[in-house]
């Protein structure tokens, strides 16, 4: 896979309505490729999951194109009401995670704030006809009218993709679920909320093991919450979780049943320069996402202004730090007032861990090439939705005279934010969620 500083990206597809009038339910809340990149799933605030499938002709064409068609759409979660706490539980899909494929069907986990569901997505292109006890339309036949036995036959039919819930994992989280992660053993998975992480077996819905609990005896002493958690890609006993204090803990489940004592603590050294200690320091150091690399050697963490690469063998400081939108440091006051400072940006690796991607405001997203140390700012804009249109790098001007292609920091649209992105595991194809639209870009034809 090509390194990314030299890659030119071009538009491939846009999904979703192009109206300016966006309903809240249509806003995309998560994006996830499956393990071979053949399927791409999105979840939205209306509780729906839409699965796109790679177009076989686009894959076979020369050069290869990254085009996806709708494969299946289903309602994963419905709005609920917790009568004990008088709380509405919204249907918004917080996370989707694919299981590795073992047979013809595909399996994925989806979660809202409280309930995790395991979905089976399977194809049917044959139907059975000629039943003895019922008609082809499903109605039961009168037994007295049956005077001969028929051998049912299998007939071809139009392809039908069915999604059915196989397991429902409920009632295990007091607080809102922010993460789910499937273990490399493909038998267990973890789910994390603000204060606890639970370990589940995919076959068992009525019990889970609490493996992390940071809830203090007195809630007034609460100083941090869990913001994200993920299993190691190859070592089934290791997982990491990040906190609102800017720390990442690596835990080994072999050491004890309750992983309250971490094996490693990754934390940036305190800045001794007191001039940098602003009122917002704690808020902007909160980690919104953490992702282990495909090799399992590194991880990335995203805080409000930057993205950091950590070596799992070195806890003392990150090995790389990339500023995402440093020009916003002077705007933290207004970002606090409009609540943007609490936005949770996600981050992702490319397939060979040589590049990382994360989102920003004004529908900008950033790609950093670790090999060349080059980075680029691109825009998911409806103005470029012509196939093969090459994306022009965007620049933000912070002061002084603005050049022709630059945009002033004061003109950025903070209501247009890229929180969710995904990178194809094997190719340079990226999916970027911009409000209710899913943009698919690929490296230049």
Structural domain that includes position 260: 9-141+152-443
Has residue 4 been placed in a domain?
Answer: no
Q: For residues 445 and 430, what is the distance between their CA atoms, to the nearest angstrom?
A: 14
The count of C-alpha atoms lying within 13 angstroms of the C-alpha of 91, restricted to the half-sphere facing its C-beta, is 18
- Report the chain's mean pLDDT, rounded to a whole number: 90
Q: Which residue has the tokens 């990040």?
A: 242
321 CA to centre of own chain: 22
Q: What is the pLDDT of residue 269?
A: 82
Cα–Cα distances (Å) from 122 to 45, 72, 118, 125, in that order, read 24, 10, 13, 10
Q: What residue ranges in 206-362 does DSSP mark as E strands? A: 209-213, 226-231, 238-243, 248-252, 264-266, 289-292, 298-302, 306-311, 320-323, 347-349, 355-359
Note the pLDDT of residue 65.
Answer: 85
- Residue among 159, 2, 156, 157 nearest 69 (CA): 159
Please check the confidence at residue 245 and state whether its pLDDT lies above 50.
Answer: yes
- pLDDT tens string 150-201: 888 888 877 788 999 999 999 899 999 999 999 999 999 999 999 999 999 9
C-alpha span between 182 and 199 (Å, rounded): 10
Contacts with 200 (C-beta within 8 Å, 6 or more apart), sequence order? 116, 169, 172, 188, 189, 190, 191, 208, 209
Peptide bond into 151 cis (omega under 30): no
Check: CB of residue 35 under 8 Å from CB of residue 97.
no
Peptide linkage before 63 cis (omega within 30 of 0)? yes
3 within some domain: no
Q: Is the pLDDT of residue 5 over 60?
A: no
Least confident window among 36-50, 81-95, 313-327: 81-95
Q: Across the strands, what pairs with 316?
A: none
Average pLDDT over residues 108-120: 96
Q: Helix (H, G, I), strand (E, B), or coil: what is residue 329?
A: helix
Number of domains in the chain: 1
pLDDT of residue 4: 43
If pLDDT is split at 50, 70 and 90, which confidence band does 74 have? very high
The CATH number of whichever domain residue 107 belongs to comes to 2.130.10.10
Q: What is the token pair recorded at 207?
A: 């019990």
Which residue in the block uniquely carries the two structure tokens 């966006």? 22
Which residues fall within 8 angstroms of residue 188, CB to CB, at 6 or more apart?
199, 200, 201, 202, 236
DSSP reduced 3-state for 284? helix
Flag whether 381 is in a domain.
yes
What is the per-residue pLDDT for 6? 65
Question: pLDDT at position 272, please?
Answer: 56
Say which residues have a Cβ less than 8 Å from residue 146's Cβ, sequence separation at least 6.
Answer: 132, 133
Looking at 362-405, which runs of residues are DSSP E strands? 364-369, 375-379, 395-397
CA distances from 223 to 162, 173, 230, 442 (A): 45, 20, 22, 42
What angle is formed at CA 30 by the lines to CA 339 and CA 319, rounded to 5 degrees? 75
Q: Is the pTM of this model over 0.85?
A: yes
**Is residue 18 included in any domain, yes or no?**
yes
364 within domain boundaries: yes
- Answer whether residue 111 is part of any domain: yes
Q: What is the pLDDT of residues 360-394, one digit of tens each?
A: 999 999 999 999 999 999 999 888 878 888 999 99
| 1 domain residue, yes or no | no
Cα–Cα distance, 266 to 89 (Å, whole number):
34
Paired tokens of 81 = 């009401």
Q: Is residue 344 part of a domain?
A: yes
* pLDDT for the residue 364: 96
Distance CA 293, CA 232 (A): 9
Closest CA to 440 of 358, 428, 34, 2: 428
Give the pLDDT mean for 134-154: 81
* Bridge partner residues of 434 (DSSP): 437
Round to whole Å and give the CA distance between 87 and 174. Answer: 12
Question: CA–CA separation, 124 vs 435, rounded Å?
Answer: 33
């Amino acid at each position: 896979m090509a390194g990314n500083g030299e890659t030119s990206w071009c538009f491939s597809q846009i999904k979703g309505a192009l109206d300016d009038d966006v309903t809240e339910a249509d806003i995309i809340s998560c994006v996830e490729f499956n393990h071979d990149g053949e399927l791409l799933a999105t979840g939205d605030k209306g509780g729906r999951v839409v699965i796109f499938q790679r177009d076989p002709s686009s894959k076979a064409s020369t050069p290869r194109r990254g085009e996806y068609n709708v494969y299946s759409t289903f309602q994963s979660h419905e709005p609920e009401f917790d009568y004990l706490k008088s709380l509405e539980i919204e249907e918004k899909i917080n996370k989707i995670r694919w299981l590795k494929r073992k047979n013809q069907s595909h399996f994925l986990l989806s979660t809202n704030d409280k309930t995790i569901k395991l979905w089976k997505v399977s194809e049917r292109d044959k139907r059975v006809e000629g039943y003895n006890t019922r008609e082809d339309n499903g109605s039961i036949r009168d037994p007295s009218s049956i005077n001969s036995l028929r051998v049912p036959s299998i007939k071809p039919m139009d392809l039908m993709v069915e999604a059915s819930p196989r397991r429902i994992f409920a009632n295990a989280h007091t607080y809102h679920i922010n993460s789910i992660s499937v273990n490399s053993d493909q038998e267990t998975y973890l789910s994390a909320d603000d204060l606890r992480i639970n370990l589940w077996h995919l076959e068992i819905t009525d019990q889970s093991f609490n493996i992390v609990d940071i809830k203090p005896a007195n809630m007034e002493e609460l100083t941090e919450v869990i913001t994200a958690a993920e299993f190691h890609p190859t070592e089934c006993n290791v997982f990491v979780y990040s906190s609102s204090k800017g720390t990442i803990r690596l835990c080994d489940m072999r050491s004890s049943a309750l992983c309250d004592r971490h094996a490693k603590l990754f934390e940036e050294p305190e800045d001794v320069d007191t001039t940098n200690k602003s009122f917002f320091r704690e808020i902007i150091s909160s980690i919104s996402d953490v992702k282990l690399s495909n090799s399992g050697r590194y991880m990335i963490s995203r805080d409000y202004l930057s993205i950091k690469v950590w070596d799992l063998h070195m806890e003392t400081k990150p090995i790389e730090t990339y500023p995402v939108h440093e020009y916003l440091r002077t705007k933290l006051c207004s970002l606090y007032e409009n609540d943007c400072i609490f936005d949770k940006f996600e981050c992702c690796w490319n397939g060979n861990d040589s590049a990382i991607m994360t989102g920003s405001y004004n529908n900008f997203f950033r790609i950093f090439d670790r090999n060349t140390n080059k980075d680029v700012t691109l825009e998911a804009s409806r103005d470029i939705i012509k196939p093969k249109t090459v994306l022009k790098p965007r620049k933000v001007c912070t002061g002084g005279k603005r050049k022709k292609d630059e945009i002033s920091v004061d003109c950025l649209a903070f209501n247009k934010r890229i929180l969710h992105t995904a990178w194809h595991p094997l190719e340079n194809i990226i999916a970027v969620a911009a409000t209710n639209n899913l943009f698919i870009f690929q490296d230049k034809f």
